[in-house]
């Protein structure tokens, strides 16, 4: 007989004390309400262990009693991975494990606990003259354990890689409560399977990350940032290649944004001033890092070449920090701004970089044919081949009727184009509960079997984030 919610609460309170558990329905809301408000389930309890040892005791108990555990960091995930599926699970919040255990800027490594807020990790690194280069719009709430477990990307992947590439080692509590001590700081370690790479990106289905050793980089002296006008995604692709040739690994970000994004933000008063030079069907936000001892001007001279080659028609360079902040606000508000225009259908997809123009052209054409008046809003990390391929409802449409009629079918249309171009149906947001069925349909069957075998070996009772990722 499965334990009742009351039995679960009593047992957990006995392990973590009454300070370590939340059961009041209203208070639990902060852990249950996820950003896109798509998933609505309750939980038996929220447990907030204050130490790694307490996490081990909770897991050992949950494993013996077959109680599902949903690990949670900042609750900013976009695919419902961090909230319960059945309503019987316990949410294990890591927010009390929030210490930076050590920082060595010279060696380029910082050890942070799972509950450290990403922005605090940035500050801690900067205080030592170093940089942890994983930047997301959710960095004020997202926590290291969640960022790693969702293998988050963000705006700096081009230069520094995603969470997996920024992690040197992890410490994790396994389903049965054992502690995996993998906090190494080795650039080279050729001793078998890469367990760190399994745990990072596992969405909490293989273990509870309690701490991680993270790569640090020298803090740039400055940034050179510009928004340029490009006629099309094809021109943007050529410009991207030119930038890579001219500035190499200093190219920090190359983000593509359509005119409609600017129009929406200006109409809804989301920007105090237009950050672009003039009207254009497409914009690219380009940023370079400038390290100590190097001269400024690399971006300007690369853009002059691009102008001569007619790849860009106009440009504005950030002259002061306020300009750079406004340019990035324009980019970061792209996802949020669509909600000001009613309902929207969203896709986080990637294709080989060379196929980005085809993705946008074919996907937009197919969508507009299927739903006349729909407004394509494809934007994002062009330099990573990762486009947030979103669609706003036609002007004046009824949001509920629009979603009911087009949401499901639009996903099929876009994923078909993505798969035809050799892409992925989840570039950086993960699978969670949103895309489990889709993963089953599109992932190589042998890969799925390998993933299931790993899951069964590490979590034989299926208590770690049940129903997520593999379904
Ligand atoms: C405004 C906004 C902007 C965003 N921008 C980006 C972006 O640019 N790029 C990008 O990649 N993502 C982005 N995201 C989504 C992104 O996945 C999350 O913001 C972040 O990575 C999740 O961190 P979190 O602490 O909130 O994790 P949560 O949402 O709490 O959890 C995410 C996953 O990790 C698991 N988990 C949490 N902690 C642990 C742990 N300690 N051990 C094991 N598993 C754990 C959860 O079970 C869940 O599966 C954005 C989200 C928002 C709301």
35 lines ligand 1 (CB under 6 A): yes
Q: How far away, in angstroms, is 75 Cα from ligand 1 center?
A: 7
Q: Does 1 have pLDDT greater than 90?
A: no
Separation CA 51–CA 171 (nearest Å): 13
Q: Does 163 have pLDDT greater than 90?
A: yes
Separation CA 86–CA 421 (nearest Å): 36
The residue whose C-alpha atom lies closest to atom 16 belonging to ligand 1 is: 77
- Which of 136, 165, 167, 338 most suits a substitution to test ligand 1, by most atoms within 8 Å of the C-beta? 136
Q: Does 36 have pLDDT greater than 90?
A: no
CB-side exposure of 153: number of CA atoms within 13 Å? 23
H helices of 66-174, in order, are 118-127, 144-149, 157-160
pLDDT band of 73, cuts 50, 70, 90 = very high
Residues of the chain with CATH 3.30.43.10: 5-93
355 lines ligand 1 (CB under 6 A): no
Across residues 50-63, what is the average pLDDT?
98
The residue whose C-alpha atom lies closest to atom 41 belonging to ligand 1 is: 145
| Cβ-proximal residues to 336 (8 Å cutoff; 6+ apart), any chain | none
Q: What is the pLDDT of residues 380-422, one digit of tens each?
A: 999 999 999 999 999 999 999 999 999 999 999 999 999 999 9
| Cβ-proximal residues to 190 (8 Å cutoff; 6+ apart), any chain | none
Q: What is the pLDDT of residues 129-141, one digit of tens each?
A: 999 999 998 999 9
Residues of the chain with CATH 3.30.70.2190: 222-335
Q: What is the pLDDT of residues 14-30, one digit of tens each?
A: 999 999 999 999 999 99
CA-based nearest residue to 132, from 282, 116, 141, 439: 116
Q: How far away, in angstroms, is 203 Cα from ligand 1 center?
A: 9
Residues of the chain with CATH 3.30.70.2740: 343-420
H/E segment holding residue 213: strand 208-215
84 lines ligand 1 (CB under 6 A): no
Separation CA 148–CA 137 (nearest Å): 15
Residues of the chain with CATH 3.30.465.10: 100-218
The residue whose C-alpha atom lies closest to atom 52 belonging to ligand 1 is: 138
Q: What is the pLDDT of residues 96-141, one digit of tens each?
A: 999 999 999 999 999 999 999 999 999 999 999 999 999 998 999 9
**What integer pLDDT is reported at residue 155 of this predicted model?**
86
CATH of domain 100-218: 3.30.465.10
CATH 3.30.70.2190 fits 222-335, yes or no: yes
Separation CA 35–CA 17 (nearest Å): 29
CATH 3.30.43.10 fits 5-93, yes or no: yes
Place of tokens 């109680």: 67
- Which of 138, 183, 335, 428 most suits a substitution to test ligand 1, by most atoms within 8 Å of the C-beta? 138
Q: Which CATH class, in words, describes the domain spanning 343-420?
A: alpha beta
CB-side exposure of 250: number of CA atoms within 13 Å? 23
């Amino acid at each position: 007989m499965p334990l009742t919610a009351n039995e679960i609460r009593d047992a957990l309170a006995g392990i973590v004390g009454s300070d370590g558990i939340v059961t009041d329905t209203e208070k639990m809301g902060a852990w249950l309400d996820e950003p896109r408000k798509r998933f609505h389930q309750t939980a038996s309890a929220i447990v907030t262990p204050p130490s790694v040892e307490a996490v081990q005791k909770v897991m050992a108990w949950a494993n013996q009693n077959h109680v599902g555990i949903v690990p949670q960091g900042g609750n900013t995930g976009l695919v419902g991975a961090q909230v319960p599926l059945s309503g019987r699970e316990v949410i294990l919040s890591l927010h009390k494990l929030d210490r930076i255990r050590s920082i060595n800027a010279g060696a380029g490594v910082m050890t942070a606990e799972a509950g450290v807020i990403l922005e605090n990790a940035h500050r801690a690194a900067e205080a030592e003259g170093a940089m942890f280069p994983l930047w997301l719009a959710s960095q004020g709430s997202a926590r290291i354990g969640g960022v790693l477990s969702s293998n988050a990307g963000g705006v700096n992947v081009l230069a520094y890689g995603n969470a997996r590439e920024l992690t040197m080692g992890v410490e994790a509590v396994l389903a049965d409560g054992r502690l995996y001590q993998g906090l190494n700081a080795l650039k080279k370690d050729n001793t078998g399977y890469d367990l760190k790479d399994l745990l990072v990106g596992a969405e909490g289905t293989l273990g509870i990350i309690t701490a991680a050793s993270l790569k640090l980089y020298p803090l740039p002296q400055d940034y050179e940032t510009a928004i340029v006008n490009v006629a099309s995604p094809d021109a943007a692709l050529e410009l991207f290649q030119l930038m890579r040739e001219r500035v190499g690994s200093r190219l920090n970000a190359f983000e593509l944004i359509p005119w409609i994004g600017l129009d929406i933000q200006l109409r809804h008063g989301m920007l105090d001033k237009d950050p672009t030079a003039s009207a254009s069907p497409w914009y690219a936000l380009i940023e370079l890092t400038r390290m100590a001892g190097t001269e400024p001007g690399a971006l300007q001279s690369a853009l002059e070449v691009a102008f001569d080659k007619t790849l860009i028609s106009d440009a504005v360079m950030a002259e002061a920090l306020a300009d750079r902040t406004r340019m990035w606000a324009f980019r970061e508000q792209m996802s949020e701004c669509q909600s000001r225009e009613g309902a929207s259908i969203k896709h986080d997809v990637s294709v080989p970089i060379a196929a980005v123009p085809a993705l946008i052209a074919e996907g937009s054409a197919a969508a507009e044919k299927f739903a006349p008046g729909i407004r394509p809003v494809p934007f994002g990390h062009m330099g990573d081949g990762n486009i947030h391929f979103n669609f706003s409802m036609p002007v004046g449409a009824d949001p509920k009727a629009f979603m009911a009629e087009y949401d499901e079918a639009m996903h099929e249309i876009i994923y078909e184009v993505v798969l035809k171009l050799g892409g992925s149906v989840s570039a950086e947001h993960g699978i969670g509960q949103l895309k489990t069925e889709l993963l089953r349909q599109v992932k190589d069957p042998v890969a799925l079997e390998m993933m299931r075998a790993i899951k069964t070996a590490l979590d034989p009772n299926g208590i770690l984030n049940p129903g997520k990722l593999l379904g």
